[in-house]
Chains A and B, each alone.
Chain A
């Protein structure tokens, strides 16, 4: 009996330590750790040797050196004599510009197509389904090249450019739009606009709080319109309309005045937003379908109209399902903006991991920074979307 108790306390007879979960867990973790540490040490050691052998400098000192190359689209002042650090910022801003514009466009198109897929209208439904299937099943780089090489390069030269309202010009050099000129008093107009937006937001939140409490709110649609349009208009009138637009004009072979949106930007943004929109449309469709039909029927029987049902009952519930995958679509779009390098749009990868890397050869620092930027962008986007998700998530008892 005593022996039995003894053996039950120790390891059971006849089992190997190989099968002991505790031993296994420790050995496995130690092995994993050793492999990672040894690999890391080998990488560092090799890198040090290789860098020394190839006489490549290390550290981030190169960021202060003169870049010496031009960039076709710069949101902040940049010349060939600017530093690599400046080039990095220009590239980063260009990436962000594509990401933000692309996300807005993709969301709008995606919601329209997603609702269209559920439409009762046969033509709309079929067209939406075709859109989704075709765009989702073609590689994004293919689509970017298609827009760039087959659509935008095929536009006429500036001399024969297609004119819209005499103010916008489409040509193979990009889109020329009027340039806003800010005269005296612009600051006042901008401040008033900001104030109008703030006032509308505050008033509408107060109004909805009051409606929750008393059942009676303000007609916010009309009041908001009056504030948002009236106040800035009044400010503009009182300062004598300081913001004017300089129309582009064709002089010789090119345009003078106006702002040129480079074709690379147009191709990239169009391709990415239409591509991502196909995925967003599917998310929207599945979100709306996840709201059971009983909700719609209940809303109708309460006397809500179709529009109200959609706005107040279906969409708030669908949003819970839509938001998480929407977040990853936004992240995908941001990451896919790196495909810019395929058509020469000066985004972060093209400017920094491309030209700067070729000129300085400091691969480790540059690629680490580039990857780091995308990691940070991913984290920021998901933090914002998670916060929004928490707001719309179902609060359970």
Chain B
């Protein structure tokens, strides 16, 4: 049986090209129908939103750019009615905003600190650049010491250590080589030797002289190196912290807070999850206390109450006191962030590490913390952002940070004009926004990069 093949039948081989969708559903019009005017409520919302944009955006652009005054030497330039931002004001006060009252001929030191910080921080933040360990060591270890010497001028007054209180080495009082006080260092070495020896004796009684002596000696060595560097007279003119100000103080508080609060927070978090009841209790009390009170009261505490608790005559620097307060406060928040990460690590990781015969510190250093910290990077960066925003509060205990300098600049009669205030706020707002927004974007970038979890 055969089929008669009809040669005249036409079978179309390819599909007909689809008709274009209705005009009203595509293109700009379709998008607008779908997204802006899909219902009455939606249309009203769109119109309301557009109204807001029209009310806010054009005046803002006019104020900041179109009507703004760009040149001038004093308030005369910005007095005309209808003028926008008075940028010469920012230009004139720029040094003050950045350096505060840091001596003008010494500002190069601040610039070096800024440049060095940027040079160390940028490669640390870019994932593709290697040598992260060395980089981190330099940024978190060496940089603070160098910055301290450059900013304060170093050559701290290393006074009595221990035995000098009992009149020892009094014959050497005042003797120094390159700013290094001999009496202090003899005292320091003697104390270090004695304490290490004492540790060794106690250790020997318990069965391990060398182990204990090594721990004690390394603590003294670290302390000694830092103190020695700060003690050497590099010939820099000392600059009191009272003269610091502006963005310098903001960054000093921010960076110190970051550098100190992270290790402190990790220790507190480990302590809070420790099996040792006393350590755990102390850590919980510490964390919950700082988290329960506002930073302002912490700063008041550091400014008014702390001097009462210290020996009479010991009057620590105002900025240092604020720094201690900020660091402890941030450490408590950091501890909770890190604890979240520690809790997220499955028990198998701990058990696996222990089964491999790792010690507790090896387990934490090599297995748990790398995973836990990676998990909570967004939380850590969030803490940094709020720390950066919180630095503004030192204004209340009379430390003139960036915002403080801004406020001080408003009162300058040379620049008193109707737009000075708005110009200052616009400038400061842009600066703060760049820092905080930058940090949050960076944290999102890291989060995406490290996101190896199995999310759908």
Q: What's the least CB distance linking A23 to chain B, in Å?
A: 8
Per-residue A-contact encoding for B35-60, CB less than 8 Å = 1, 0 else: 11010001001100110110000000
Residue of A nearest to B436 (CB): A137
Q: Are A357 and B421 in contact (CB under 8 A)?
A: no
Q: Are A142 and B428 in contact (CB under 8 A)?
A: yes
Q: Are A120 and B38 in contact (CB under 8 A)?
A: yes
* Contact A51:B308 (CB < 8 A) given known A341-B396, A374-B292, A375-B289: yes
Interface check A134, CB cutoff 8 A: yes
- How far is A379 from B291 in the complex, measured between Cα atoms in Å? 11
* Contact A139:B390 (CB < 8 A) given known A21-B360, A150-B421, A353-B297: yes
* Contact A349:B297 (CB < 8 A) given known A124-B49, A137-B437: yes
Q: What's the least CB distance linking B163 to chain A, in Å?
A: 20
Q: How many of chain A's residues touch chain B, expressed as a range?
A: 35 or more
Interface check A309, CB cutoff 8 A: no
Q: What's the least CB distance linking B446 to chain A, in Å?
A: 18
Chain A neighbourhood of B282, CB < 8 A: 32, 36
Q: Are A142 and B392 in contact (CB under 8 A)?
A: yes
Choose among B277, B309, B360, B433 the residue that contacts A138 (Cβ–Cβ < 8 A).
B433
Chain B neighbourhood of A19, CB < 8 A: 359
- How far is A244 from B50 in the complex, measured between Cα atoms in Å? 40
Q: What's the least CB distance linking B303 to chain A, in Å?
A: 9
From 127 to 165 in chain A, residues with beta carbon under 8 angstroms from any chain B beta carbon are 127, 133-134, 136-142, 145-146, 149-150
Q: Are A141 and B312 in contact (CB under 8 A)?
A: no
Chain A neighbourhood of B429, CB < 8 A: 138, 142, 146
- How far is A87 from B439 in the complex, measured between Cα atoms in Å? 42
Chain A neighbourhood of B291, CB < 8 A: 378
Interface check A302, CB cutoff 8 A: no
Chain A neighbourhood of B45, CB < 8 A: 119, 121, 123-124
Interface check A192, CB cutoff 8 A: no
* Contact A374:B432 (CB < 8 A) given known A25-B276, A47-B308, A353-B300: no
Q: Are B297 and A28 in contact (CB under 8 A)?
A: no
From 271 to 300 in chain B, residues with beta carbon under 8 angstroms from any chain A beta carbon are 275-279, 282, 289, 291-297, 300
Interface check B1, CB cutoff 8 A: no
Chain B neighbourhood of A50, CB < 8 A: 307-309, 312
In this complex, the member of B359, B407, B421 whose beta carbon has the largest number of chain A beta carbons within 10 angstroms is B421
Chain A neighbourhood of B73, CB < 8 A: none
Residue of A nearest to B439 (CB): A137
- How far is A335 from B299 in the complex, measured between Cα atoms in Å? 13
Interface check A223, CB cutoff 8 A: no
Among A67-75, A246-254, A311-319, A362-370, the stretch in contact with B: A362-370
Q: Are B396 and A342 in contact (CB under 8 A)?
A: yes
* Contact A335:B304 (CB < 8 A) given known A16-B211, A122-B35: no
Q: What's the least CB distance linking A39 to chain B, in Å?
A: 9
Choose among B389, B403, B436 the residue that contacts A145 (Cβ–Cβ < 8 A).
B403
- How far is A32 from B278 in the complex, measured between Cα atoms in Å? 8
Chain A neighbourhood of B212, CB < 8 A: 18
Interface check A388, CB cutoff 8 A: no
* Contact A121:B42 (CB < 8 A) given known A16-B207, A141-B392: yes
Q: Are A378 and B292 in contact (CB under 8 A)?
A: yes
- How far is A342 from B50 in the complex, measured between Cα atoms in Å? 35
Q: Are B428 and A123 in contact (CB under 8 A)?
A: no
Q: Are B396 and A133 in contact (CB under 8 A)?
A: no
Q: What's the least CB distance linking A24 to chain B, in Å?
A: 9
Choose among B46, B208, B297, B437 the residue that contacts A18 (Cβ–Cβ < 8 A).
B208
Interface check A339, CB cutoff 8 A: yes
Choose among B311, B389, B440 the residue that contacts A139 (Cβ–Cβ < 8 A).
B389
Chain A neighbourhood of B385, CB < 8 A: 137
Q: Are B208 and A17 in contact (CB under 8 A)?
A: yes
* Contact A145:B279 (CB < 8 A) given known A46-B310, A335-B293, A336-B294: no
- How far is A29 from B283 in the complex, measured between Cα atoms in Å? 12
Q: Are A379 and B35 in contact (CB under 8 A)?
A: no
From 367 to 419 in chain B, residues with beta carbon under 8 angstroms from any chain A beta carbon are 385, 388-393, 395-396, 403, 407, 410
- How far is A146 from B427 in the complex, measured between Cα atoms in Å? 12
Q: Are A141 and B395 in contact (CB under 8 A)?
A: yes
Q: Are B308 and A141 in contact (CB under 8 A)?
A: no
Residue of A nearest to B31 (CB): A122
Choose among A121, A137, A371 the residue that contacts B36 (Cβ–Cβ < 8 A).
A121
Interface check A53, CB cutoff 8 A: yes
Chain A neighbourhood of B115, CB < 8 A: none
Per-residue B-contact encoding for A255-276, CB less than 8 Å = 1, 0 else: 0000000000000000000000
Interface check A200, CB cutoff 8 A: no
From 7 to 40 in chain B, residues with beta carbon under 8 angstroms from any chain A beta carbon are 34-36, 38
Residue of A nearest to B212 (CB): A18
Q: Are A53 and B305 in contact (CB under 8 A)?
A: no
Interface check B301, CB cutoff 8 A: yes
From 319 to 363 in chain A, residues with beta carbon under 8 angstroms from any chain B beta carbon are 335-336, 338-339, 341-342, 349, 353, 357, 363
- How far is A28 from B309 in the complex, measured between Cα atoms in Å? 26
Interface check A184, CB cutoff 8 A: no
Interface check A297, CB cutoff 8 A: no
Per-residue B-contact encoding for A164-208, CB less than 8 Å = 1, 0 else: 000000000000000000000000000000000000000000000
Q: Are B292 and A338 in contact (CB under 8 A)?
A: no
| 12 other A-B residue contacts (CB within 8 Å) besides A121-B42, A374-B294 | A21-B360, A33-B278, A36-B282, A46-B309, A46-B310, A123-B49, A137-B432, A149-B421, A339-B296, A339-B393, A349-B300, A353-B300
Return the 9 tightest CB-CB contacts between A and B, nearest first.
A137-B436, A16-B208, A123-B49, A335-B294, A139-B389, A18-B211, A363-B304, A338-B294, A43-B309
Residues on A close to B: CB < 8 A?
16-19, 21, 23, 25, 28-29, 32-33, 36, 42-43, 46-47, 49-51, 53, 119-124, 127, 133-134, 136-142, 145-146, 149-150, 335-336, 338-339, 341-342, 349, 353, 357, 363-364, 367, 370-371, 374-375, 378-379
| CB<8 Å pairs between A and B, sample of 29 | A23-B206, A25-B275, A25-B276, A32-B278, A33-B278, A47-B309, A51-B308, A119-B45, A120-B35, A121-B35, A121-B42, A121-B46, A123-B53, A133-B437, A136-B436, A137-B433, A137-B436, A139-B388, A139-B390, A139-B432, A141-B403, A149-B421, A150-B421, A339-B296, A349-B296, A349-B297, A357-B304, A367-B300, A367-B305
Residues on B close to A: CB < 8 A?
34-36, 38, 42, 45-46, 49-50, 52-53, 203, 206-208, 211-212, 275-279, 282, 289, 291-297, 300-301, 304-305, 307-312, 359-360, 385, 388-393, 395-396, 403, 407, 410, 421-422, 425, 428-429, 432-433, 436-437, 440
